[in-house]
Amino acid sequence: MIRLTIQAALGALAALLLGLSALAAEQRVPQSHATIQRAVDQAAAGDVIVIADGTYMENVTIENKSRLTIRARNEGRVTVQSRFASAVFEVKNSSEIVFDGLIISSGTEIAQDGSGQVPVGNGGVLVEDSNTITFDTGTLSNNLGPGLLLDNATDVTLVDCLIRANQQTNTFIRDGETVDDETTKGHGIEATGRSSFTLDGVTVEGNQGSGIFLTNEAQGTVTEESRIRNNLGSGVKLEDRATASLVDVTIETTRADSGEEGDPGDGVRAEMDSRVVLKDVTVQNNAGAGLYLNRGTALVSGSTVTGNAANGFTVENQSTLEVSDGTEVSDNSGFGLRVLNAT
C-alpha cells in the first residue's frame, strides 16, 4: 500500500513537471518560426522567444498575451525595424511582457518619387492597456515619433536602456504613398492615460522632442544615474496633473524648439497642476530655465542647478516651489529665482 502511494505520488509529480515543460517553451526565430510575429502568435504563457542575430523588417503585435519574453540571442545584435507606418512593436491588453537586448528602430522605404530611401514607421513601441512590461538593456532609436509611447500602461520598467535620436515628423509613407499629418514629436518617452513607469540607469538623448513627456495623470520615476541630455524642447516635461520623481539624475544641454508652440529648452518643465520632485539631481547647461513651473508644484532637495541660459528657477501663475538645504543654484544667465504670482 505504501509502495503504491509513493508510486502514485511520483507519477503525479512527473505529470506536473511534464505539464510545466509543455507550458514553458523556447520559440526560436528564424529556426522554428520565420518571423517574430509568427513566434508571438504561437507562444503560450511562460514561453521565451529567442531571436538570432540579424535585422528583421517587421511590425509586431502582441495582444492578449501574458508572461512572454522576447530576447536577443546576443544582446545588441538583433535589430527590429518597422515595415509600415505603425509602431515596430504594439503591446495591447497584455501583462508580464519582457523585451531583452533588442534594438528597435524605424525602417525605410523607397520614396514615391523615386528620390531615395525615406523613413517609415510611427514610434518604436506602443504599450496600451497593459501592465508589468519590462525593457532590459535595449535600444529604442531613430524611430519616427516617440521611442516609447505608453497609453494606460502601468508598471512599465526600463533598465540600462538607451533611448536616442527619435524623430519629429509630419509625413508618413502609407501603402507606398506620402501622407501628411499633424506634427508628431519625437519624444524619447511619452506617457499618457494614467500610465506609470520607472527608469533605472537609462540614457535618453538626442530626441526631436522632450526627453520624457508625461501628461493626463501619468506618473514617472527616474533614478539610478539616468541621464537625460541634448533633447529638443524640455528635458522632462509634465502637464495635465502628471507627477514625476527624479532621484540621482542628470538633465543637461536641452535645446530650444523653434517650432510652433515649441518649448524654450528648460531642463524640467511642469504645467497644468503637475508635480515634480527632484532629489540629488543635476540640471545644467540647458537652453532655457533649469526648472520652469506654470501652475505646477516642485520639491527640490540636494540638487544642483547651474549654467542654464535662462533662470535657475522660473515660478509663475499660482505655482509652488519648495527648496531645501543642500541645493545649489549658480551661474545661470538669468535670475537664480524668478517668481510671478506664485509662492
Provide the 8-state DSSP code for 144. Answer: B
- Cis omega (within 30 of 0) for bond into 119: no
Please say whether the beta carbons of 72 and 96 come within 8 A.
no
The pLDDT assigned to 325 comes to 83
Low-confidence ranges of the chain (pLDDT < 70): 1-23, 107-121, 170-183, 260
- Could you give phi then psi for residue 17, rounded to 5 degrees? -65, -40
Could you report the per-residue pLDDT of 150-188, keeping only the tens digit for each?
Answer: 999 999 999 999 999 998 876 544 444 555 555 678 999
Please say whether the beta carbons of 217 and 209 come within 8 A.
no
The pLDDT assigned to 53 comes to 98
- Locus of grid cell 535585422: 55
Find the helix or strand (DSSP H, E) in which 14 lies.
helix 2-23
Cβ count within 10 A of residue 99: 25
E-only strand ranges, 24-176: 26-29, 48-51, 54-57, 60-63, 66-72, 78-81, 89-92, 95-100, 103-105, 107-110, 117-120, 125-128, 131-136, 139-141, 148-151, 154-159, 162-164, 169-174
The pLDDT assigned to 121 comes to 63
The pLDDT assigned to 197 comes to 98
The pLDDT assigned to 84 comes to 80
Provide the 8-state DSSP code for 261. Answer: T
Please say whether the beta carbons of 175 and 153 come within 8 A.
no
The pLDDT assigned to 184 comes to 72
> What is the reported pTM?
0.89
Please say whether the beta carbons of 234 and 211 come within 8 A.
yes
The pLDDT assigned to 341 comes to 83
The pLDDT assigned to 16 comes to 53
Measured CA to CA in angstroms, residue 152 lies from 128, 190, 192, 214, 310 at distances of 6, 11, 7, 12, 35
Please say whether the beta carbons of 109 and 84 come within 8 A.
no
